[in-house]
Chains A and B, each alone.
Chain A
Amino acid sequence: MSKALAVRGLAKRYGPVEALAGVDLEVGEGELVGLLGPNGAGKSTLVKIACGLVRQSRGDAEICGLRAGSHEARRRIGYLAELFRFPGWYSADEVLELHQKLNGSAGGANERHELLELVGLADARTRRVEEMSKGMQQRLGVAQALVGSPPLLLLDEPTSALDPVGRRTVRTLLEELRRRGTSVLLNSHLLSEIELVCDRVAILLQGRLVAEGSPAELARARGVEIETDEGTRLFEGKGREDVPELVAELVAAGRKVYGVRVLTSTLEETYLEAVGGATS
């Protein structure tokens, strides 16, 4: 079965700047993949190539087996740009109606109502975009991306302007989308958010994929801390699977074990290690 998104050897140059230098990445059906990396790592470029806004210099990008950027591929994506704006004189409902027409969605008023409810804007249906806060506009952007129930969502910093409540709304929404089987590529700087919702994480640095895996895989074991009657001892390099053996050895040696803690690095630590402190 074709992947929701598949990029192979994807490269992009902007003049002398190499934004992407041969990236391979896949997003499976119903999978939620987080894309991390410092500013200028190539995250937005990858997303833009996937939705046909930018042409790659080499490599392939496919959406559900169709060439990215093609008419049919664009029918299968929902996209929220990092920097976007809707005409200020449109109401929330009219923005969605415009995108329904452009996308050929037959959802009508029901779909619009459902989407606005999903992003917590049901009460702002007739409110003009120019009268909305940045956070409301961003949630409207998410609703716009969902018009026509696309199988793949490409979200570029969808929570950058949201307050904690708004972020939670989007997080809940992402979990709901996963439940429905929608694939999502989530580009975000918020590691905690990625860690909470994503099935898999890919870290980009200078246009290259430097780490990839589930948050649990990336959050590597740092050791096991065991509290005994002699005090607390750290067994570096050991993991969860080593705990029974370590405890058995201590007990066999006559120690009393009061507590065990498996130490893992956080995604943030893994990320910082992967990017080597790069910020842009």
Chain B
Amino acid sequence: MTSILTIVGYGLREALRRKVFAVVLLLTLAFIALYWLANHYAFRDVNSIQPPRGSGIDARTFAGAFIFGLAMFGTLFLGVVLAIFLTLGVVRGDAERGLLQPLIVRPVGRSTLLVARWLGAVAVCAPYVGAVYVGTMLITGLTGHWWPDHVVIPGVELAGGVAVVAAMSLLGSVFLTSTANGIAIFMVFGAGLVSGLLGTIGHALSSHALSHAAKVAAWLIPFEALYQDALREITANTTGLTGFLLNLGPFGGGYTGGATLRLWAAAYLLIVGVVAALAFSRRDL
């Protein structure tokens, strides 16, 4: 336990020292400021929008859910950037730089080191994602007087999605150099988002093939499924034409989710962890 805490502390300190953390913080401040501006203008103008009489469209709910969905995408993206940069070189990258060997010859198991580095990354990324999520929610809520249908679960799912990406990046770091791993994980992340968008289009067009492919992709890389479920949760109680329009996407609604998904995401983390530990245990350094 002492070893885990020591390495978590080592990882945390490394995270705080890295310039990427400062860059992400600056970008976040810029993002928050621009997001506030967007909310300000969007909700100022939403009063002038008059949906067709009897359509049942609630313009404020639509604007709020849509713009907050966009914020959730931004939050996930920034969290993923942070998670990848904190973990992309944990094994091969650090071994090539000579940082890993002095640690690994100590009586600390290799799997312990992986778990601790993952915990260290999550300890930075999860609070970060949570803070940005709450911050953007407060901006939308206070500016536009719209609040998500569910508040806690979507935030936890976004943080969970980032934790999944951190685990995937750690697994990649066992096999790939830092640069190759970073590129690979970003591409997987991009592929996940594209598959989610394709799924939304598939649903809009009633294309079973597209929807099915998107669903398979979402379960294969569950950070995407968690993100979709988070989007679904913020408008879980929104019905009628407003709900229908939000489900057309890209920043509202979602078609993959539920308790099974959350269980699968937890199991997925475990599987990725076991594969990474096995691969690391066989790796010559």
Count of chain A residues near B, Cβ 8 A:
28
Chain B residues closer than 8 Å to A85, beta-carbon distance: 97-99
Question: Count the B residues whose beta carbon is within 8 Å of the partner chain — how many?
Answer: 23
Give Cα distance in the complex from A48 to B101, angstroms. 10
Q: Are B99 and A74 in contact (CB under 8 A)?
A: no
Asked whether B99 lies within 8 Å of A102 as measured between CB atoms, the reply is no
User: Which residue in A54, A55, A81 is a CB contact (below 8 Å) of B102?
Assistant: A81
Inter-chain contacts of A278 with B (CB < 8 A): none
B6 near A101 with CB under 8 A, answer yes
Residue A104 lies at the interface, judged by CB distance under 8 Å to chain B = yes
Across-interface contacts of A99 in B (CB, < 8 A): 102, 106
Q: Is the CB of A74 within 8 A of B105?
A: yes
Stretch at the interface among B10-18, B66-74, B183-191, B206-214: B10-18
Say whether A102 contacts B106, CB under 8 Å.
Answer: yes
What is the bound-complex CA distance between A48 and B284, given in angstroms?
A: 9
Is B239 part of the contact surface with A, judged by Cβ < 8 Å?
no
Contact of B107 among A81, A86, A102 (CB under 8 A): A102
Flag if B106 contacts A48 (CB, 8 Å).
Answer: no
Select which of A48, A51, A83, A89 is within 8 A of B13 by beta carbon.
Answer: A89
CB within 8 Å of A: which B155-184 residues: none
Verify A84–B284 contact, CB threshold 8 A.
no
How far does the alpha carbon of A89 sit from the alpha carbon of B11 in the complex, in Å? 12
**Bound Cα distance from A194 to B29, whole angstroms:** 58
Known contacts: A53-B285, A55-B282, A77-B105. The answer to whether A98 contacts B6 by CB under 8 A is: yes
Inter-chain CA distance A99–B103, complex, in Å, is: 8
B109 at the interface (CB under 8 A from A): yes
B98: which of A83, A103, A104 is its contact (CB, 8 Å)?
A83
Residues of A within 8 A of B284 (CB): 14, 48, 53-55
Q: Residue B14 contacts which of A74, A79, A87, A103 (CB distance < 8 angstroms)? A: A87
Q: Mark A204-226, 1 if CB is under 8 A from B, else 0.
A: 00000000000000000000000
Give 5 A-B pairs besides A74-B105, A85-B97, A86-B102 with Cβ atoms closer than 8 angstroms: A53-B104, A84-B98, A84-B102, A87-B10, A98-B6
On B, residues with C-beta under 8 Å from A are 2-3, 6-7, 10, 13-14, 17, 97-99, 101-109, 282, 284-285
Could you list some 8 contacts between A and B, CB below 8 A?
A: A14-B284, A53-B104, A79-B102, A84-B98, A85-B99, A86-B99, A99-B102, A102-B108
